[in-house]
Structure 1
Amino acid sequence: MEKLLSEVTEVYRRVLKDPNLVLSPDSTADDVDGWDSLNHTILMAEVQKHFQIKFALKEVIKFKNVGDMLELIHQKISNRQQ
Structure 2
Amino acid sequence: MTESEVWQRLTSVFQDVFEDDEISLSPETTAEAIEDWDSLTNIQLLIAIEKAFPGLQFSTGEVANLENVGDLVSAIIKRVAT
TM-score normalized with structure 1 length: 0.90
Question: Residue 48 of structure 1 aligns with which residue?
Answer: 50
Task: Tell me which of 12, 20, 23 is aligned to 1:21.
Answer: 23
Runs of 4+ in 1 over 2 A off after TM superposition: none
Aligned length: 79
> Cα deviation per residue 1:28-72 (whole Å; 9 max; x = unaligned)?
000011111100000001001100110111110000000101001
Secondary structure of the residue aligned to 1:21 is: coil
Percent of matched pairs sharing the same residue: 30
Flag structure 2 segments of 5+ consecutive residues without an equivalent.
none
Alignment-mate amino acid for residue 75 of structure 2: L
TM-score normalized with structure 2 length: 0.90
Root mean square deviation of aligned Cα? 1.1
**Structure 1 residue 5, shift from structure 2 partner:** 1.2
Residue 71 in structure 1 maps to residue 74 in structure 2: yes
